[in-house]
Protein backbone atom coordinates (compact mmCIF):
# COMPACT_ATOMS: atom_id res chain seq x y z
CA UNK A 1 0.00 0.00 0.00
CA UNK A 2 1.34 3.40 -0.94
CA UNK A 3 1.79 6.15 1.58
CA UNK A 4 -1.11 8.54 1.93
CA UNK A 5 -1.07 11.99 0.31
CA UNK A 6 0.96 14.73 1.93
CA UNK A 7 -0.96 18.00 2.39
CA UNK A 8 0.92 20.70 0.47
CA UNK A 9 -0.34 23.59 2.64
CA UNK A 10 -1.44 25.62 -0.36
CA UNK A 11 -2.81 29.14 0.03
CA UNK A 12 -3.63 30.32 -3.47
CA UNK A 13 -6.22 30.65 -6.20
CA UNK A 14 -5.86 30.03 -9.93
CA UNK A 15 -3.93 32.84 -11.56
CA UNK A 16 -2.81 34.31 -8.24
CA UNK A 17 0.75 35.13 -7.20
CA UNK A 18 2.85 32.23 -5.94
CA UNK A 19 1.17 30.82 -2.83
CA UNK A 20 2.77 30.97 0.58
CA UNK A 21 3.91 27.45 1.45
CA UNK A 22 4.88 26.45 4.95
CA UNK A 23 7.50 24.25 3.28
CA UNK A 24 9.40 24.08 -0.01
CA UNK A 25 8.57 21.65 -2.80
CA UNK A 26 11.04 18.89 -1.91
CA UNK A 27 9.12 16.29 0.04
CA UNK A 28 5.85 16.79 -1.82
CA UNK A 29 4.56 13.95 -3.99
CA UNK A 30 3.34 14.03 -7.57
CA UNK A 31 -0.36 14.69 -6.74
CA UNK A 32 0.56 17.55 -4.41
CA UNK A 33 2.91 19.09 -6.97
CA UNK A 34 0.21 18.85 -9.63
CA UNK A 35 -2.26 20.54 -7.29
CA UNK A 36 0.28 23.24 -6.46
CA UNK A 37 0.99 23.93 -10.14
CA UNK A 38 -2.71 24.15 -10.95
CA UNK A 39 -3.19 26.53 -8.03
CA UNK A 40 -0.89 28.95 -9.85
CA UNK A 41 -2.71 28.69 -13.13
CA UNK A 42 -0.25 26.20 -14.60
CA UNK A 43 -1.31 22.90 -16.16
CA UNK A 44 -1.01 19.80 -13.99
CA UNK A 45 1.81 18.41 -16.12
CA UNK A 46 4.07 21.18 -14.75
CA UNK A 47 3.76 19.45 -11.39
CA UNK A 48 4.80 16.18 -13.00
CA UNK A 49 7.80 17.92 -14.53
CA UNK A 50 8.75 19.32 -11.14
CA UNK A 51 8.47 15.85 -9.65
CA UNK A 52 10.80 14.36 -12.26
CA UNK A 53 13.40 17.09 -11.84
CA UNK A 54 13.25 17.00 -8.05
CA UNK A 55 13.53 13.26 -7.52
CA UNK A 56 14.82 11.58 -10.69
CA UNK A 57 17.23 14.31 -11.80
CA UNK A 58 18.06 15.86 -8.44
CA UNK A 59 17.77 19.49 -9.53
CA UNK A 60 19.29 21.99 -7.14
CA UNK A 61 17.60 25.16 -8.39
CA UNK A 62 14.60 26.22 -10.43
CA UNK A 63 16.96 27.68 -13.01
CA UNK A 64 18.08 24.14 -13.83
CA UNK A 65 14.50 23.10 -14.64
CA UNK A 66 14.47 24.66 -18.08
CA UNK A 67 11.31 22.81 -19.13
CA UNK A 68 9.37 25.24 -16.92
CA UNK A 69 8.41 28.62 -18.39
CA UNK A 70 11.11 31.18 -17.69
CA UNK A 71 8.60 33.80 -16.54
CA UNK A 72 7.17 31.39 -13.98
CA UNK A 73 10.63 30.48 -12.72
CA UNK A 74 11.47 34.16 -12.29
CA UNK A 75 8.20 34.79 -10.47
CA UNK A 76 8.90 31.94 -8.07
CA UNK A 77 12.49 33.02 -7.49
CA UNK A 78 11.30 36.46 -6.44
CA UNK A 79 9.07 35.03 -3.72
CA UNK A 80 10.71 32.05 -1.94
CA UNK A 81 8.76 29.94 0.56
CA UNK A 82 9.05 29.90 4.29
CA UNK A 83 11.74 27.69 5.78
CA UNK A 84 14.08 27.52 2.80
CA UNK A 85 16.30 29.70 0.64
CA UNK A 86 14.41 28.72 -2.51
CA UNK A 87 11.50 26.62 -3.73
CA UNK A 88 13.39 23.37 -4.13
CA UNK A 89 14.73 23.36 -0.58
CA UNK A 90 18.10 21.80 -1.37
CA UNK A 91 20.96 22.22 1.10
CA UNK A 92 24.45 23.55 0.46
CA UNK A 93 27.47 21.31 0.97
CA UNK A 94 30.05 22.70 3.39
CA UNK A 95 32.45 19.81 3.75
CA UNK A 96 33.05 16.34 2.37
CA UNK A 97 35.17 13.79 4.22
CA UNK A 98 36.03 10.50 2.51
CA UNK A 99 37.53 7.53 4.34
CA UNK A 100 39.76 4.82 2.90
CA UNK A 101 36.83 2.41 2.74
CA UNK A 102 34.74 4.88 0.73
CA UNK A 103 32.53 5.99 3.61
CA UNK A 104 31.62 9.59 2.80
CA UNK A 105 30.42 12.11 5.36
CA UNK A 106 28.79 15.33 4.20
CA UNK A 107 28.36 18.45 6.29
CA UNK A 108 25.36 20.32 4.89
CA UNK A 109 24.25 23.90 5.54
CA UNK A 110 20.63 24.76 6.26
CA UNK A 111 18.94 27.95 5.06
CA UNK A 112 19.24 29.50 8.54
CA UNK A 113 22.98 28.98 8.92
CA UNK A 114 23.01 25.72 10.87
CA UNK A 115 24.80 22.54 9.82
CA UNK A 116 23.93 18.86 9.83
CA UNK A 117 25.66 15.62 8.96
CA UNK A 118 24.77 12.73 6.71
CA UNK A 119 26.88 9.71 5.79
CA UNK A 120 27.01 7.44 2.76
CA UNK A 121 28.27 3.95 3.59
CA UNK A 122 29.09 1.68 0.62
CA UNK A 123 29.41 -2.06 1.20
CA UNK A 124 29.08 -5.15 -0.99
CA UNK A 125 26.76 -3.82 -3.65
CA UNK A 126 24.70 -1.62 -1.37
CA UNK A 127 24.76 2.02 -0.31
CA UNK A 128 23.35 2.95 3.08
CA UNK A 129 22.60 6.57 3.97
CA UNK A 130 22.71 7.53 7.63
CA UNK A 131 20.22 10.36 8.13
CA UNK A 132 19.95 13.11 10.73
CA UNK A 133 16.52 14.06 12.04
CA UNK A 134 17.56 17.09 14.12
CA UNK A 135 20.34 19.67 14.31
CA UNK A 136 22.01 18.57 17.50
CA UNK A 137 20.30 16.31 20.01
CA UNK A 138 18.69 16.78 23.44
CA UNK A 139 19.33 13.24 24.69
CA UNK A 140 22.92 14.00 25.85
CA UNK A 141 24.23 10.44 25.54
CA UNK A 142 27.63 10.51 27.23
CA UNK A 143 29.42 8.66 24.42
CA UNK A 144 27.97 10.73 21.54
CA UNK A 145 29.53 13.85 20.02
CA UNK A 146 26.20 15.24 18.80
CA UNK A 147 24.71 15.50 22.28
CA UNK A 148 27.57 17.67 23.53
CA UNK A 149 26.10 20.77 21.90
CA UNK A 150 22.45 20.17 22.76
CA UNK A 151 19.51 20.59 20.41
CA UNK A 152 19.21 23.53 18.04
CA UNK A 153 16.07 22.48 16.17
CA UNK A 154 14.32 19.64 14.41
CA UNK A 155 14.70 19.17 10.67
CA UNK A 156 11.88 19.71 8.21
CA UNK A 157 10.88 17.00 5.73
CA UNK A 158 12.79 18.59 2.84
CA UNK A 159 15.97 18.75 4.94
CA UNK A 160 15.74 15.02 5.64
CA UNK A 161 14.98 13.97 2.06
CA UNK A 162 17.72 16.27 0.78
CA UNK A 163 20.32 14.20 2.62
CA UNK A 164 19.47 11.16 0.50
CA UNK A 165 19.63 13.20 -2.71
CA UNK A 166 22.94 14.78 -1.65
CA UNK A 167 24.57 11.41 -0.95
CA UNK A 168 23.23 10.03 -4.24
CA UNK A 169 24.69 13.02 -6.10
CA UNK A 170 28.10 12.84 -4.44
CA UNK A 171 28.53 9.06 -4.55
CA UNK A 172 27.01 8.57 -7.99
CA UNK A 173 24.68 5.72 -7.13
CA UNK A 174 21.18 5.15 -5.85
CA UNK A 175 21.01 4.49 -2.09
CA UNK A 176 19.65 1.05 -1.28
CA UNK A 177 19.08 1.52 2.46
CA UNK A 178 18.40 4.37 4.87
CA UNK A 179 18.98 4.46 8.62
CA UNK A 180 17.81 7.26 10.91
CA UNK A 181 20.91 6.97 13.09
CA UNK A 182 22.53 10.36 12.54
CA UNK A 183 22.12 13.53 14.55
CA UNK A 184 19.02 13.81 16.72
CA UNK A 185 16.32 11.65 18.27
CA UNK A 186 13.87 10.64 15.51
CA UNK A 187 10.96 10.11 17.90
CA UNK A 188 11.16 13.77 18.92
CA UNK A 189 10.55 14.64 15.26
CA UNK A 190 8.38 11.70 14.35
CA UNK A 191 5.90 13.45 12.04
CA UNK A 192 8.68 14.79 9.80
CA UNK A 193 10.42 11.40 9.91
CA UNK A 194 7.23 9.59 8.84
CA UNK A 195 6.62 12.13 6.07
CA UNK A 196 10.21 11.64 4.90
CA UNK A 197 9.74 7.86 4.88
CA UNK A 198 6.59 8.33 2.80
CA UNK A 199 8.55 10.44 0.31
CA UNK A 200 11.47 8.01 0.15
CA UNK A 201 9.10 5.14 -0.62
CA UNK A 202 6.61 6.85 -2.93
CA UNK A 203 8.86 9.32 -4.75
CA UNK A 204 12.32 7.73 -4.62
CA UNK A 205 11.22 4.12 -4.96
CA UNK A 206 12.56 2.70 -1.72
CA UNK A 207 10.83 -0.03 0.27
CA UNK A 208 9.98 0.42 3.92
CA UNK A 209 11.96 -2.72 4.74
CA UNK A 210 15.07 -0.88 3.54
CA UNK A 211 14.56 1.79 6.22
CA UNK A 212 15.52 1.71 9.91
CA UNK A 213 14.47 4.21 12.58
CA UNK A 214 16.67 4.24 15.68
CA UNK A 215 15.68 5.61 19.09
CA UNK A 216 17.11 5.66 22.61
CA UNK A 217 13.54 5.80 23.83
CA UNK A 218 11.17 8.68 24.55
CA UNK A 219 8.37 7.99 27.06
CA UNK A 220 4.97 7.12 25.56
CA UNK A 221 6.09 7.54 21.94
CA UNK A 222 6.52 3.98 20.67
CA UNK A 223 2.83 2.98 20.60
CA UNK A 224 1.98 6.36 19.09
CA UNK A 225 4.67 5.89 16.43
CA UNK A 226 3.18 2.51 15.54
CA UNK A 227 -0.33 3.93 15.22
CA UNK A 228 0.79 6.99 13.25
CA UNK A 229 2.87 4.83 10.92
CA UNK A 230 -0.18 2.73 10.11
CA UNK A 231 -2.22 5.88 9.46
CA UNK A 232 0.46 7.70 7.50
CA UNK A 233 2.15 4.86 5.61
CA UNK A 234 -0.60 2.27 5.42
CA UNK A 235 1.61 -0.20 7.25
CA UNK A 236 4.68 -0.08 9.47
CA UNK A 237 7.24 -2.18 7.63
CA UNK A 238 10.36 -0.19 8.53
CA UNK A 239 12.67 -1.57 11.22
CA UNK A 240 12.55 0.00 14.67
CA UNK A 241 15.95 -0.14 16.38
CA UNK A 242 15.84 0.53 20.13
CA UNK A 243 19.17 1.64 21.59
CA UNK A 244 19.60 -0.06 24.97
CA UNK A 245 23.39 0.29 25.46
CA UNK A 246 23.15 -1.17 28.97
CA UNK A 247 21.49 -4.21 30.55
CA UNK A 248 20.37 -2.43 33.74
CA UNK A 249 18.82 0.90 34.70
CA UNK A 250 21.76 2.22 36.75
CA UNK A 251 24.32 1.84 33.97
CA UNK A 252 21.85 3.04 31.35
CA UNK A 253 21.27 6.29 33.25
CA UNK A 254 25.04 6.74 33.46
CA UNK A 255 25.31 6.50 29.67
CA UNK A 256 21.98 8.14 28.76
CA UNK A 257 21.03 10.81 31.34
CA UNK A 258 17.47 11.14 30.01
CA UNK A 259 16.87 7.46 30.80
CA UNK A 260 16.05 8.40 34.40
CA UNK A 261 12.60 9.43 33.13
CA UNK A 262 12.09 6.16 31.23
CA UNK A 263 12.85 3.03 33.28
CA UNK A 264 13.86 -0.03 31.30
CA UNK A 265 10.72 -1.85 32.41
CA UNK A 266 8.54 0.90 30.91
CA UNK A 267 10.63 1.04 27.73
CA UNK A 268 10.35 -2.70 27.18
CA UNK A 269 6.62 -2.62 27.91
CA UNK A 270 6.23 0.01 25.18
CA UNK A 271 8.36 -2.15 22.88
CA UNK A 272 5.91 -5.00 23.39
CA UNK A 273 3.00 -2.71 22.56
CA UNK A 274 4.80 -1.57 19.40
CA UNK A 275 5.30 -5.18 18.31
CA UNK A 276 1.66 -6.01 19.06
CA UNK A 277 0.47 -3.11 16.87
CA UNK A 278 2.87 -3.56 13.95
CA UNK A 279 3.68 -7.27 13.99
CA UNK A 280 7.31 -6.37 13.29
CA UNK A 281 10.41 -7.79 14.91
CA UNK A 282 12.50 -5.29 16.87
CA UNK A 283 16.19 -4.61 16.65
CA UNK A 284 18.06 -3.80 19.86
CA UNK A 285 21.24 -1.74 19.58
CA UNK A 286 24.04 -2.01 22.11
CA UNK A 287 27.17 0.13 21.96
CA UNK A 288 30.18 -1.71 23.37
CA UNK A 289 32.40 0.47 25.58
CA UNK A 290 35.70 -1.09 26.56
CA UNK A 291 35.71 -2.23 30.20
CA UNK A 292 32.37 -0.60 30.98
CA UNK A 293 29.54 -2.65 29.45
CA UNK A 294 31.34 -5.26 27.35
CA UNK A 295 31.98 -8.01 29.90
CA UNK A 296 30.40 -11.49 30.01
CA UNK A 297 28.13 -10.54 32.92
CA UNK A 298 26.74 -7.67 30.84
CA UNK A 299 25.99 -10.03 27.96
CA UNK A 300 24.24 -12.44 30.31
CA UNK A 301 22.17 -9.62 31.84
CA UNK A 302 21.22 -8.36 28.38
CA UNK A 303 20.08 -11.83 27.36
CA UNK A 304 17.84 -12.01 30.42
CA UNK A 305 16.49 -8.50 29.79
CA UNK A 306 15.24 -9.17 26.26
CA UNK A 307 14.16 -12.77 26.81
CA UNK A 308 10.82 -13.38 25.12
CA UNK A 309 11.28 -10.79 22.39
CA UNK A 310 11.46 -11.83 18.76
CA UNK A 311 14.39 -9.55 18.11
CA UNK A 312 17.86 -9.03 16.76
CA UNK A 313 20.77 -7.48 18.66
CA UNK A 314 23.17 -5.20 16.81
CA UNK A 315 26.46 -4.76 18.67
CA UNK A 316 28.26 -1.48 17.93
CA UNK A 317 31.94 -1.17 18.89
CA UNK A 318 32.50 2.37 20.15
CA UNK A 319 33.98 5.01 17.83
CA UNK A 320 36.23 7.16 20.07
CA UNK A 321 35.69 10.94 20.27
CA UNK A 322 38.25 13.40 21.56
CA UNK A 323 36.17 14.79 24.44
CA UNK A 324 35.53 11.47 26.18
CA UNK A 325 37.61 8.85 27.94
CA UNK A 326 35.56 5.87 26.77
CA UNK A 327 37.60 3.14 25.14
CA UNK A 328 36.95 1.05 22.07
CA UNK A 329 36.42 -2.60 23.10
CA UNK A 330 38.99 -5.18 22.15
CA UNK A 331 38.15 -7.56 19.29
CA UNK A 332 38.30 -10.40 21.82
CA UNK A 333 35.71 -8.73 24.07
CA UNK A 334 33.40 -8.12 21.11
CA UNK A 335 33.68 -11.74 19.98
CA UNK A 336 33.08 -13.07 23.51
CA UNK A 337 30.02 -10.84 23.97
CA UNK A 338 28.59 -12.07 20.69
CA UNK A 339 29.20 -15.72 21.58
CA UNK A 340 27.50 -15.25 24.95
CA UNK A 341 24.34 -13.92 23.30
CA UNK A 342 24.39 -16.64 20.66
CA UNK A 343 24.63 -19.26 23.39
CA UNK A 344 21.30 -17.90 24.65
CA UNK A 345 19.79 -18.33 21.15
CA UNK A 346 19.68 -14.59 20.44
CA UNK A 347 20.18 -13.38 16.87
CA UNK A 348 23.14 -11.03 16.97
CA UNK A 349 25.45 -9.19 14.58
CA UNK A 350 28.38 -6.81 14.97
CA UNK A 351 28.26 -3.58 13.04
CA UNK A 352 31.34 -3.16 10.89
CA UNK A 353 33.27 -0.06 11.91
CA UNK A 354 33.25 2.17 8.85
CA UNK A 355 34.85 5.54 8.28
CA UNK A 356 36.97 5.68 11.42
CA UNK A 357 39.33 8.05 9.61
CA UNK A 358 36.48 10.26 8.33
CA UNK A 359 34.98 11.36 11.65
CA UNK A 360 32.05 9.12 10.73
CA UNK A 361 30.64 8.68 14.22
CA UNK A 362 27.60 10.81 14.88
CA UNK A 363 28.45 14.50 15.29
CA UNK A 364 32.23 14.19 15.11
CA UNK A 365 32.86 16.06 11.86
CA UNK A 366 30.47 18.88 12.74
CA UNK A 367 32.06 19.45 16.16
CA UNK A 368 35.59 19.33 14.78
CA UNK A 369 34.94 21.84 12.01
CA UNK A 370 32.98 24.18 14.27
CA UNK A 371 35.85 24.03 16.74
CA UNK A 372 38.26 25.00 13.98
CA UNK A 373 35.93 27.73 12.74
CA UNK A 374 35.82 25.99 9.36
CA UNK A 375 33.86 27.69 6.61
CA UNK A 376 33.39 27.05 2.93
CA UNK A 377 33.41 23.86 0.89
CA UNK A 378 36.29 21.54 1.76
CA UNK A 379 36.99 17.97 0.73
CA UNK A 380 39.29 15.78 2.82
CA UNK A 381 40.42 12.31 1.85
CA UNK A 382 42.43 9.63 3.52
CA UNK A 383 45.80 9.49 1.83
CA UNK A 384 45.32 5.93 0.65
CA UNK A 385 41.90 6.67 -0.85
CA UNK A 386 42.09 7.18 -4.58
CA UNK A 387 39.91 9.69 -6.34
CA UNK A 388 37.03 8.32 -8.41
- Chain centroid to Cα 178, Å, comes to 7
**CA–CA gap between residue 360 and residue 183 (Å, rounded):** 12
**CA–CA gap between residue 109 and residue 370 (Å, rounded):** 12
For the question of residue 362 being annotated catalytic, the response is yes
- Quick one: which H or E segment has residue 270? helix 264-278
**CA–CA gap between residue 50 and residue 55 (Å, rounded):** 9
In DSSP terms, 313 is beta-bridged to 284, 348
Marked catalytic residue, from 117, 159, 185, 285: 117
**CA–CA gap between residue 157 and residue 142 (Å, rounded):** 28
180 Cβ partners below 8 Å, 6+ apart? Answer: 131, 133, 186, 193, 211, 212, 213, 214
Positive or negative, the Cα torsion across 122, 205, 216, 150? positive
Marked catalytic residue, from 137, 199, 271, 362: 362
Contact 258, 216 (CB under 8 A): yes
- 277-281 — which CB contacts under 8 Å span 24+ positions? 277/223, 277/226, 277/227, 277/230, 277/236, 278/226, 278/229, 278/230, 278/235, 278/236, 278/240, 280/236, 280/237, 280/239, 280/240, 281/239, 281/310, 281/311, 281/312
Catalytic residue annotation: 117, 362
Amino acid sequence: MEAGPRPPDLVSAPGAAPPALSRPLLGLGRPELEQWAEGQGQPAFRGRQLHEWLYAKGARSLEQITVLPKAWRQQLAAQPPQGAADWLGRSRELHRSIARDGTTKLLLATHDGLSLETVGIPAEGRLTVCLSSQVGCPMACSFCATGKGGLQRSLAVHEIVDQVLSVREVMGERPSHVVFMGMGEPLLNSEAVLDAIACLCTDLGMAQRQITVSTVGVPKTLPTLAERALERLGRAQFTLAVSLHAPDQRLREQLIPTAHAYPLEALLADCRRYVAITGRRLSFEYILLGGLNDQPQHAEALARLIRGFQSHVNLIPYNPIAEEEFQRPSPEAVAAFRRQLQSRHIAVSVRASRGLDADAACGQLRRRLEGEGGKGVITTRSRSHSSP
